[in-house]
A and B are shown apart, each in its own frame.
Chain A
Amino acid sequence: MVSSNLVFASDEIAVSEEVLSSYYKEYFPLDPFIEWLGYRNDETLSRREFSFTLKDDVYTRFRSFTSKEELHQAFIKTKPEKIDIGAIYNYSCKHRLSPDFKEEQRELVFDIDISDYDDVRTCCQEARICQKCWPLMSICVKVLEETLKTAFGFEQILFVFSGRRGIHCWVFDEEARKLNGAERFALAHYCQVTAQQIGTSHRLHTHIQNALKITDLYWDEYLETQDLLGTEEGIDSFLKYVKLDDSIKNEWKEQMLKYDTTMERWSIFQQKRKEAQSKKYRDRLFIERIKIAVTYPRIDIKVTEGFNHLLKAPFSVHPKTGKVCVPFNADDVDSFDCDNVPTVFSLRKNDEELVKVIEKQEGDMSKKYYHGEMKESVKIFTDLLNQVFSE
């Protein structure tokens, strides 16, 4: 089909039904996917909510499936443009109108979109993302991982590229799945630090200190590549977070304008911070406040808070980019290249080679998704599942 390569906008590509269909048939890692969603139990699986977005943005919620085959058939028959995963309920979704139908389990999830960072990046806007602003996502991954592991004690964490403009994080731990609404609310708010929460001189919470340590790994380079203080507006946007009188801030601004580069201007902030330490200024935490404002993970709190919130499934295809939502390793987040992930098109292109590879394989290993472009991300996923089921 010609339409499959039709380019709408710079990064928008129409994914035809035929391409989608062949992806679901041959490359979608159905076995581990199903194993996960039902936690190796078809009865549990039948109580899990699926939502399909079909052609022309038709949403269909509360679908449920009793077996792998049934889901596979549905994929092929309806060719969903988008697959969302919801909660495991106490009854099958067929009984969703029953008065005591309610959520029973749900992975703890986080959703972060780069478009929420438009005020602190100069390279791209909206849904676009590039290597220059990816460090923001790196910080998110590291802060979330650190918080979930050390503070909350969770271990089974999956990070997924959402296919276009951000990342998702899924926590599979049983304790996480069984958190109730109030507990999710508490955790989500614990993980939502805002600049306003940073006072002028108090001790910072360990969580904030840890986040700042992670930010510091990226800060100087990010500041420089984005040239955040390159313009007067840029300087103003930072000064906005300084809790001092306008007269003092204007004085600082004039000093900064004498220099040309972002880094020279930033060094004025650092110098002021030193002076503040010797009690010259009332606000002694403005550096911390600025760093939090610019880099602290901007999670979509509604998603984490909600027990029944839907989130796009790992390994589904982003309908506008054709990219597969691949899981990635948190340790490798810095080198993750979102322009170099498998797409439905690249998979097709390399299909012939792959066919030769799998001809030599037997049993499960003859599945295409265990090889080629999909291999790495499927392995990350199955490794995590092994960890889940080994307990």
Chain B
Amino acid sequence: MLKLAFCKQPDLKQWFVRNEVNLFRYRFNKMSSKGKIRFFELSKFNLESIEKGEITGELEANLNDCSNITTASAKTWYRIPWTQVGRLVTRRSIFIDEGKAYVPEEDLIEFVVGKFRSECNRWLAGLAKKFDVMMENEQERLVPILKSFGNTIADADFSSTEGRLTINSIETMRKTSLPPCIRQLLDALQVDNKLKHDGRVHLWAFFKAAGMPLEDALKFTFTRMTAYANPEKEFKYNVRHVYGKEGGGKGVGAYGCSTKIKALPVEGQYQGCPFKHQRNLKQQLRNWGVKEVDIDKIKKKADDGHYQVACNQFFKSTHKDKEEKLDLITILHPNNFFDQSFDWNTGEHKLLKAEDTAKSEAMETSTYEPAWETTLPMSQAEKESQSQKEFEQDDFMEE
């Protein structure tokens, strides 16, 4: 049923596959080693194992340098094409030679999970193809049910009202209402007068969703990205493209927390989530004027991997009044941070306006139910622009 509901939309599909894979991984890990051996026998993977005698000298040194498992403790090593253990290659935690990865038995789970993931994707791709035909006679019965599944997972759209952010207000907003990930980009832009491609797109997409008019976004780009010889010529098209005025016309949706957390910014890139990627988070927070007591709290959350909780703490620390109500705020998206902050500072936030009854508070908390353990679903706009990443990449496989 879920397979049917999710097979048509890439991000729902991705969510489904991720959870199926997690479940599979959990089950596999629960199996006894006997069970695993039986599983391998039944699955007929025909893995090429390496003779113990072969593992000496240079090869032994290489295996020890590259794997998390030492040759002394590993049971058996297998030689597998590197393409079948993508995760291990991405993490650079195996030795690869001549296209073959040397995988210790302990890491074989990655190979099995990889197989399972591509199987999952294949089922879904197959279903998606047949979907329209299957649903022909189900317009009244199944289709509404399927639609309702989709809605509970991804219903968020975080666009603000047009004109909420403008070129004139951005400098004030920067200190009061812009989310840390965007402030980080603006800080870098101020120092370098330039941003790398990803950073620029993240910024423009945020502007668009924050309601900044196109003219303002263009003006901002031309006057602030001055390290380029001719920003007008170089970026006019790109900004217009983000705003949906060039190309396909859809434009780029604002990037959400999950994208930013998953991003892998390299030296000189700032498009990530500061709570995950900022190496000197404490100093950064100090520069942004966060109180010393709060800095430790935020840092702790960030260190524990609760990046969005850390962002919430940041919001709490940088906003005033009605602390008991600030506690109820949950940030779902960079643009959601901006909106809530804007509303809060203008006294328009629904938590401020709501009657002080237990009922309304209960309602607010339930609408903003946090989902820290899983990554948050992406907004509607984001879905359209989400670049193909890890899980989704399996879509290319054997469809």
Q: Which residues of A contact B (CB under 8 A)?
A: 9, 57, 59, 102-103, 116, 119, 150-154, 175, 179-187, 189-190, 192-197, 203-207, 209, 293, 298, 301-302, 307
Query: What chain B residues lie within 8 Å of A186 (beta carbons)?
Result: 82-83, 86-87, 89-90
CA distance A9 to B229 in the complex (A): 10
Q: Is the interface of A mostly helix, strand, loop or mixed?
A: helix
Q: Is the interface of B mostly helix, strand, loop or mixed?
A: helix
Q: Of A183, A184, A209, A293, which is within 8 A of B65 by CB?
A: A209
Interface residues of B in 190-230 (CB under 8 A from A): 197-198, 229
A119 and B268 in contact (CB under 8 A), knowing A153-B99, A203-B64? Answer: yes
Query: What chain B residues lie within 8 Å of A57 (beta carbons)?
Result: 233, 237
Most buried by A among B62, B66, B89, B268: B89
A189-B98 in contact (CB<8A): no
A182-B394 in contact (CB<8A): yes
Q: How far is the CB of B21 from chain A (nearest CB, A)?
A: 13
9 CB-based A-B contacts, threshold 8 Å: A151-B97, A180-B396, A181-B393, A181-B394, A182-B394, A183-B83, A186-B89, A189-B264, A301-B266
Query: What chain B residues lie within 8 Å of A203 (beta carbons)?
Result: 64-65
CA distance A320 to B91 in the complex (A): 39
B96-A189 in contact (CB<8A): no
A102-B96 in contact (CB<8A): no
Does B360 sit within 8 A of A, measured CB to CB?
no
Does B390 sit within 8 A of A, measured CB to CB?
yes
Query: What chain A residues lie within 8 Å of B395 (beta carbons)?
Result: 181
Chain B residue at minimal CB-CB distance from A118: B268
CA distance A76 to B284 in the complex (A): 55
CA distance A83 to B92 in the complex (A): 35
* Interface pairs A-B: 4 shortest CB-CB: A153-B99, A181-B393, A182-B393, A186-B86
Chain A residue at minimal CB-CB distance from B229: A9
A182 and B396 in contact (CB under 8 A), knowing A151-B96, A189-B264, A194-B266? Answer: yes
Q: Of B62, B92, B229, B279, which is within 8 A of A189 by CB?
A: B92
Does B95 sit within 8 A of A, measured CB to CB?
yes
CA distance A203 to B60 in the complex (A): 13
A190-B237 in contact (CB<8A): no
Q: Of B229, B237, B267, B393, which is within 8 A of A180 by CB?
A: B393
A185-B92 in contact (CB<8A): no
A194-B267 in contact (CB<8A): yes
Q: How far is the CB of A188 from chain B (nearest CB, A)?
A: 9
Q: How far is the CB of B286 from chain A (nearest CB, A)?
A: 15
Q: How far is the CB of B109 from chain A (nearest CB, A)?
A: 16
CA distance A103 to B396 in the complex (A): 8
CA distance A187 to B393 in the complex (A): 13
Does B388 sit within 8 A of A, measured CB to CB?
yes
B390-A206 in contact (CB<8A): no
Q: How far is the CB of B281 from chain A (nearest CB, A)?
A: 14
Most buried by B among A189, A301, A302: A189
Chain B residue at minimal CB-CB distance from A120: B267
Q: Of B90, B229, B233, which is within 8 A of A185 by CB?
A: B90
Q: Of B62, B237, B267, which is within 8 A of A206 by CB?
A: B62
Query: What chain B residues lie within 8 Å of A195 (beta carbons)?
Result: 267
CA distance A293 to B392 in the complex (A): 31
CA distance A31 to B343 in the complex (A): 64
Chain A residue at minimal CB-CB distance from B93: A205
Q: How far is the CB of B225 from chain A (nearest CB, A)?
A: 14
Does B352 sit within 8 A of A, measured CB to CB?
no
Query: What chain B residues lie within 8 Å of A205 (beta carbons)?
Result: 65-66, 92
Query: What chain B residues lie within 8 Å of A102 (beta carbons)?
Result: 396
A307 and B396 in contact (CB under 8 A), knowing A183-B86, A206-B62? Answer: yes
Query: What chain B residues lie within 8 Å of A103 (beta carbons)?
Result: 396
Chain B residue at minimal CB-CB distance from A188: B90
B98-A182 in contact (CB<8A): no
A179-B83 in contact (CB<8A): yes
B83-A185 in contact (CB<8A): no
CA distance A57 to B91 in the complex (A): 39
CA distance A184 to B83 in the complex (A): 9
Q: Of A175, A190, A302, which is within 8 A of B89 by CB?
A: A190
Query: What chain A residues lie within 8 Å of B64 (beta carbons)?
Result: 203
Q: How far is the CB of A107 from chain B (nearest CB, A)?
A: 16
Query: What chain B residues lie within 8 Å of A197 (beta carbons)?
Result: 92
Does B37 sit within 8 A of A, measured CB to CB?
no
B92-A150 in contact (CB<8A): no
CA distance A185 to B389 in the complex (A): 8
Most buried by A among B90, B264, B397: B90
Query: What chain B residues lie within 8 Å of A193 (beta carbons)?
Result: 92
CA distance A119 to B269 in the complex (A): 13
B65-A206 in contact (CB<8A): yes
Query: What chain A residues lie within 8 Å of B396 (beta carbons)?
Result: 102-103, 180-182, 307
A150-B397 in contact (CB<8A): no
Q: How far is the CB of B273 from chain A (nearest CB, A)?
A: 15
Query: What chain A residues lie within 8 Å of B198 (beta carbons)?
Result: 302
A206-B66 in contact (CB<8A): yes
Q: Of A59, A116, A209, A301, which is within 8 A of B268 by CB?
A: A116
Question: What would 7 more interface pairs be, CB under 8 Å, given A102-B396, A151-B96, A206-B62?
Answer: A9-B229, A150-B97, A151-B98, A183-B86, A185-B86, A187-B82, A192-B266
Query: What chain A residues lie within 8 Å of B65 (beta carbons)?
Result: 203-206, 209
Q: How far is the CB of A348 from chain B (nearest CB, A)?
A: 27
B99-A152 in contact (CB<8A): yes
CA distance A186 to B97 in the complex (A): 15
Q: How far is the CB of B119 from chain A (nearest CB, A)?
A: 14
Q: How far is the CB of B246 from chain A (nearest CB, A)?
A: 10
Query: What chain A residues lie within 8 Å of B266 (beta carbons)?
Result: 192, 194, 298, 301
Query: What chain A residues lie within 8 Å of B99 (beta carbons)?
Result: 151-154, 175
Query: What chain B residues lie within 8 Å of A179 (beta carbons)?
Result: 83
CA distance A181 to B268 in the complex (A): 25
A181-B267 in contact (CB<8A): no
Chain A residue at minimal CB-CB distance from B100: A153
CA distance A290 to B233 in the complex (A): 37
Chain B residue at minimal CB-CB distance from A57: B233
CA distance A59 to B238 in the complex (A): 12
Q: How far is the CB of A23 from chain B (nearest CB, A)?
A: 24
Interface string of B50-91 (1 = CB under 8 A from A): 000000000000101110000000000000001100110111
Q: How far is the CB of B86 from chain A (nearest CB, A)?
A: 4
Q: How far is the CB of B236 from chain A (nearest CB, A)?
A: 9
Interface string of B272-298 (1 = CB under 8 A from A): 000000010000000000000000000
